[in-house]
Structure 1
Amino acid sequence: MKTLLASAAICLVPLTAQATAIKEAPWAPRAAAYRHTLFLGNLSPVPWEKIEASWNRAVPGSSLPYAAVSRASDEEAAALNSALQVQDRQALFEAATVIVAQGILRHLENADARLGTPEAATELAKAETLYRAFEDAIRAADEPAARQLGRAWLILNSSLGSGGVLGQGGQESNKAEFANARKDVSDYIRTNYLPAEFATRDKLAPVPETVFLSGPEVKLPATLPPGSNIADQSELPRLILQFEEAGEDEANLPLVAYGDMLFDSPEIFGGPAQELGIACSTCHNRSDINREFFIPGLSYRPGGMDVDGAFFNPMFNDRKDDHLDTPSMRGIRFTAPYGRDGREPSLRRFIRNVIVTEFAGKEPTPFQLDALVAYVREFDWLPNPKIDRAGRLTDKASDAAKQGEAIFNTDFPGLNGKSCASCHTPDQNFTDGLTHDIGSSERPFPGGTATAFETPTLRNINFTAPYMHDGSLPTLASVVDWFNDTRNLGLDEEQRADLTAYLEAIGDGEEPYQRFEGRDSVFRLSWEELTTFASTLDTLLPARDAQNIALLIDTVAPDLAADASVMTNQAAKPEIYELSAILRAVGDASAEGDWGEAEQQWQKFNTMQAAIDERMF
């Protein structure tokens, strides 16, 4: 193994990101395991057990449910297992890269040998799915080669030949063309991913070896491992906002509207979060939680992740593998302190901590914090007719729930003479504003002090499973069982069922998910939100606030164009692209200080928006 420290630096560069995430296609198992290896191998500390699992078990994001190492040769598998045993990052990178590269070459060889048969297309497709593991790095680091290789893959596919339809229109394979294109791809793979010796890499990335050794800085976009899901959950939570319930239009509340935009904007974050298009709303869909959010290596289960690890902000890395369940933000103005451990006493400090500390963003301006606080303070709970204003059950609750209410208010020796209601106080929205050590976290060392966690509200909890700070309990019934077992409450099966029924009653809510029917569509919802965000230009343009105008344009314009893909009225897509371009023109003029042009383009936007509004669905 070469010990040369190459001078090329691998880093991440900001890209134009959008908050509209798109789910990616499944990966070939070996390609998926390889990309997991690179992602996990760059964490600190390296989670070696997770890397080993990604090769020896079906990995998230794979197209087929088999272990990737089973498709490697015995020699390749031995090299990989040796690197895992001694926990050598460089050896791991080399062994994993060889498995993928050799797989590409073998499948190309098999396709060549089977030209003229259906098996050739199958083998070529397998080679392409493995090439995907390197493709984005080649495109970013060696653009001329990426273009040449792209043409080579096209030639490989076109030279396979075709049997036609019902014996008509068939085309024979072209062995010479296939051989030439195969040589182009194979030579590049051998040179860059099967060198005699690999240069030592501090950051594991599939940058071509020749480019890595050439010296200039190699800039790669941030990526997540296969199996990640940062798209909105399939059932969008229903958003309850105070001003809407009072009949007010958000466009008349520019501070709230701008805060709404910031909540949906990756631009307020830094580093990987911004590049990937992650925003506050990515985890907190419409004030609630995204129960499908998942990043392998950072998330134990969907709906949460380790927020203080090495990936998003190395400065905030506590070097602990501590997954946290995402809390709902409904009714957040009533649920201080904030953070699972209650570290922040105010919303303002909590929001600033998320932006700067967790996701490496720049220090927000006072105006931006004012706007975000103003917006999230509008979040309210789903209406629940089963409880009154004091948190007491109404006649709409079941008899079992009423029996459970009595248990909830009973003092137990196992709770130090207190009741469940002592902490989850009904007339204080089922919280007490304090932190408690309930035994749900491990001591950091023998004799150490375990972490205390804030008392979560129980309102609307029917829709926020799983439960506990780490999402370790899947149902409310399992929460009741956990307290019964760990606190020796002595509840029998019927009492546990009654207490569960009570929790389900106070945790209920009407119409928890957004309904879409007829003209109301996913795009219509996005259209109304994005045009409302844009309406804050009525305030920002007269104030000549170029900084916040730029942030708004960089958020709204790309999302408008991206959301056009989910329109029901596909014929109207060109108008959306035109509207997005006009908004970009507002930003360009603002950046140049040409306020007259910016105002003119803004009026053009308003005129067009009004003209096309009715057919945007």
Structure 2
Amino acid sequence: MTLRFPALLLAAFAGALALSGSALATPAKEAPWLPEAAAYRLTLFLGNLEPLPWDDVEAAWSEPHRNSHFSFGALARLDEDSDVKPDKLMDAITSEDRHAVFTEATRLIALRLEEELDRAIAAEGPATAQRAVREARELYRAFADGIAAADSEASKRIGRAWLELASSAGSPGLLGAGTTPTSTEAMATARAVISDYLADNYLPDTFTTRRTLSALPETAVLSGRSVEVPPSLPPGSDIFDQDPLPLLVLNFEEQGIDETDLPLVAYGDMLFDSAQIFGSPARDIGIACSTCHNRSDVNQRLFIPGASHQPGAIDVDGAFFNPIFNDRRDDPIDIPSLRGLRFTGPYGRDGRFASLRDFSRNVIVNEFAGEEPTPFMLDALVAYMLEFDFLPNAMLTVDGRLTSAAPEGARRGEAIFNRPFAGLSDRSCASCHVPDANFLDRQAHDIGSVAQVYEGARAGALDTPTLLGTVYTAPYFHDGSLPTLAAVVDWFDEAKSLGLTEADRDDLTAYLEAVGAADEPYEAFGSENTAFRLAFSELTTFASTLDTLIPQRDAEHILLLVDTVAADLAADASTMSNLAARPDVYALAKGLEEVGAAVRDEDWVAAEASWSAFKSDANAIDERAF
């Protein structure tokens, strides 16, 4: 079997990107990566982590990356469809020689690219030539951002060469009509532009040892110039919102209060959704608080190779987000839900932060390398998060007792939950997960779920998590090691010698499922409540705080808001189903940028005028588009 495939198309987000600039917080989806190119990009990413995860580097080449469009990895692809041999690369990985791995991986991609160009030139017909050109160009993606960052003129020149290659490869036409022949001479001329650059930069005799692995061309490294390649996530990453979207329950909304009447809360809502409060690389790739804690809950699809061991987990104190905060331990944690946050302190998996304010600052400054937040920013962020409420559950009273809506098995399980066990030192499950205290005791306990890292270590105590809403936050335990609530019951039964019968385990599981359930766990979309309308409403609510900030002449916090909201408005416009209204939303984003421009110029009259125009236009769009 020959492992070949059709062209891979990159989705266009030109309109959104034109307005977004560096402030874009909404990530754009990439086209699928070819297996070899994906393995190379993963190798660069993993090679910059400390300690370097060598097993993951080997897997990057031997296995398809997570969510790959292909069922085979790079080595299988090379074995079936290439004369380029990976032996030197695999030897370098085995010997854990970082520089040799970079050298051989870079050579391999460059040689594969040349191999496809050879095939294109030698092709007997336009269809075969076009396919080879497409695959060569997809392999070139592995180097493209490095070339663009270091040598924009070369990037443009090579871009024109790719266009010339594609056009001179000819076309097979459609049903025999419109066939155009291949121009081998024109192809060879265009190919030379690409090959000459590869020879100088990706196929030199030796490569300079690099502190940071990247796709920068060798001539740029030798020049000694400081060149920054924009941060990016490796293939297999997923930082998009989960689907279905969790329902957000806010205390003030349940009381009938409009968020636009709570400017501090609304500003905190914006900060929670803004990548701008973090440092690079999180800011540049669009990671915000809401990326992990999707609508106050858990983003169960989030995954970053080298920082996640499974979806819904992240190592926030590893090398990627903030090297100075790197604890050099491979310890990703299961992302916790933030629902009911005002009831769940202390904060952090081990309860190390007594206040939500201190916890939030640690996330911004230490975990994600952001600048020191202002007191107003912390006030706003905390004010917003304290409004997160638990999901309503008709099977549970407010003091934690089951109602008549709960199934019979859950009722039997409730009795087991409150029964003392010798294996729990004559305490019950309810001793820690106190039903009338939101199934919390606000203490940390060492239940034996954390492996002892050295003799006498006392690092296993973890904060008691609530059981409310847990049906929707699988997997369980701090490391996400237990996939179901039934597995949690089994673990406690075995680890603590509870002596439960099979029926007991079933009933206790039914109880946990009843306690952790919700009447409406997910956002209900329809013709009236569309995904874009929800996003539009949120963003215009964020902007409403300008009614308070502009009169106060608070330039710093105004600019943070407009940079975030204008970019997200433009990005979300690209997803609108109402195409006729899309230009209006782009114009609205531009209007908010004008507010920012006036503030930067300290022209407060113009800022107020632009803000008034924005509000008028937003109301008009809301009436027309929805």
Q: TM-score range by the shorter chain?
A: over 0.9
Q: Among 277, 299, 309, which residue is 2:286 paired with?
A: 277
Q: Aligned pair 1:361/2:392, yes or no?
A: no
Deviations, residues 507-536 of structure 1 (Å, cap 9, x unaligned): 011111111111321110011000111110
Q: Post-superposition shift, 1:24? A: 1.8
Q: 1: CA distance between counterparts of 2:404 and 2:243?
A: 33
Write the letter of the residue equivalent to 1:177.
A
- The equivalent of 1:143 in structure 2 is 152
Q: 1: CA distance between counterparts of 2:109 and 2:84?
A: 13
Write the letter of the residue equivalent to 1:393.
L
Q: Post-superposition shift, 1:75? A: 7.4
- The equivalent of 1:323 in structure 2 is 332
Write the letter of the residue equivalent to 2:322.
N
Q: 2: CA distance between counterparts of 1:62 and 1:27?
A: 8
Q: Post-superposition shift, 1:398? A: 0.7
Q: 1: CA distance between counterparts of 2:321 and 2:253?
A: 35
Q: Aligned pair 1:373/2:382, yes or no?
A: yes
Q: Aligned pair 1:69/2:104, yes or no?
A: no
Q: Post-superposition shift, 1:378? A: 0.6
Q: 2: CA distance between counterparts of 1:63 and 1:246?
A: 47
Q: Is the 8 A contact 1:347 1:373 kept in 2?
A: yes
Q: Aligned pair 1:36/2:36, yes or no?
A: no
Deviations, residues 248-275 of structure 1 (Å, cap 9, x unaligned): 1100000000000000011111110111
- The equivalent of 2:575 in structure 1 is 566
Unaligned runs of 5+ in 1: 1-13
Write the letter of the residue equivalent to 2:149.
A
1:219 match: secondary structure: coil
Q: Aligned pair 1:202/2:208, yes or no?
A: no
Q: Is the 8 A contact 1:30 1:68 kept in 2?
A: yes
Write the letter of the residue equivalent to 2:609.
Q
Q: 1: CA distance between counterparts of 2:510 and 2:528?
A: 38
- The equivalent of 2:619 in structure 1 is 610
2:574 match: secondary structure: helix
Which deviates more, 102-111 or 160-169? 160-169
Q: Among 400, 405, 408, which residue is 1:396 paired with?
A: 405
* 1:24-423 → structure 2 map (5 Å cutoff): 24-72=30-78, 76-423=85-432
Deviations, residues 445-501 of structure 1 (Å, cap 9, x unaligned): 133223211000000111101110011111101111111111111111111010000
Write the letter of the residue equivalent to 2:71.
P
Q: Post-superposition shift, 1:67? A: 2.5
Q: 2: CA distance between counterparts of 1:163 and 1:362?
A: 56
Q: 1: CA distance between counterparts of 2:214 and 2:251?
A: 47
Q: Is the 8 A contact 2:21 2:567 kept in 1?
A: no
Q: Is the 8 A contact 1:15 1:221 kept in 2?
A: no
- The equivalent of 1:584 in structure 2 is 593
Q: 2: CA distance between counterparts of 1:59 and 1:374?
A: 40
Q: Is the 8 A contact 1:527 1:616 kept in 2?
A: no
1:220 match: secondary structure: coil
Q: Is the 8 A contact 2:126 2:182 kept in 1?
A: no
1:473 match: secondary structure: coil
Deviations, residues 269-309 of structure 1 (Å, cap 9, x unaligned): 11101111110001111111111111011111111111100
Q: 2: CA distance between counterparts of 1:370 and 1:289?
A: 23
2:228 match: secondary structure: strand
- The equivalent of 2:27 in structure 1 is 21
Q: 2: CA distance between counterparts of 1:434 and 1:589?
A: 50
Write the letter of the residue equivalent to 1:39.
F
Q: Is the 8 A contact 1:309 1:317 kept in 2?
A: yes
Q: 2: CA distance between counterparts of 1:447 and 1:94?
A: 44
- The equivalent of 1:6 in structure 2 is none
Q: Is the 8 A contact 2:130 2:170 kept in 1?
A: no
Q: Aligned pair 1:453/2:459, yes or no?
A: no
Write the letter of the residue equivalent to 2:44.
L
Q: 2: CA distance between counterparts of 1:30 and 1:75?
A: 11
Q: Post-superposition shift, 1:341? A: 1.1
Q: 1: CA distance between counterparts of 2:528 and 2:516?
A: 32
Which deviates more, 191-200 or 112-121? 112-121
Call closer, same or farther: CA 1:173–1:74 in 2, change over 3 Å.
closer
2:33 match: secondary structure: coil
- How many residue pairs match? The answer is 604
Q: Is the 8 A contact 1:460 1:506 kept in 2?
A: yes
Q: 1: CA distance between counterparts of 2:583 and 2:196?
A: 43
2:22 match: secondary structure: coil
Write the letter of the residue equivalent to 1:363.
E
Q: 2: CA distance between counterparts of 1:606 and 1:117?
A: 55
1:542 match: secondary structure: coil
* 1:535-574 → structure 2 map (5 Å cutoff): 535-574=544-583
Q: Is the 8 A contact 1:241 1:378 kept in 2?
A: yes
Q: Post-superposition shift, 1:145? A: 0.8
Q: 2: CA distance between counterparts of 1:117 and 1:169?
A: 12
Q: 2: CA distance between counterparts of 1:268 and 1:174?
A: 53
Q: Is the 8 A contact 2:143 2:215 kept in 1?
A: yes
Q: 2: CA distance between counterparts of 1:158 and 1:63?
A: 27
Q: Is the 8 A contact 1:37 1:54 kept in 2?
A: yes
Q: 2: CA distance between counterparts of 1:74 and 1:136?
A: 27
Deviations, residues 569-613 of structure 1 (Å, cap 9, x unaligned): 111111111111111111111111111111111111112112221
Q: 2: CA distance between counterparts of 1:426 and 1:139?
A: 58
Write the letter of the residue equivalent to 1:164.
G
Q: 2: CA distance between counterparts of 1:60 and 1:290?
A: 17
Write the letter of the residue equivalent to 1:16.
S
Q: 2: CA distance between counterparts of 1:293 and 1:180?
A: 45
Q: Is the 8 A contact 1:222 1:272 kept in 2?
A: yes
Call closer, same or farther: CA 1:107–1:75 in 2, change over 3 Å.
closer
Q: Is the 8 A contact 1:541 1:549 kept in 2?
A: yes
Call closer, same or farther: CA 1:241–1:409 in 2, change over 3 Å.
same
Q: 1: CA distance between counterparts of 2:177 and 2:276?
A: 55
Write the letter of the residue equivalent to 1:475.
T
Q: 2: CA distance between counterparts of 1:411 and 1:556?
A: 53
Deviations, residues 96-125 of structure 1 (Å, cap 9, x unaligned): 111111000001101111142532222222
Write the letter of the residue equivalent to 1:408.
F
Unaligned runs of 5+ in 2: 1-19
- The equivalent of 1:11 in structure 2 is none
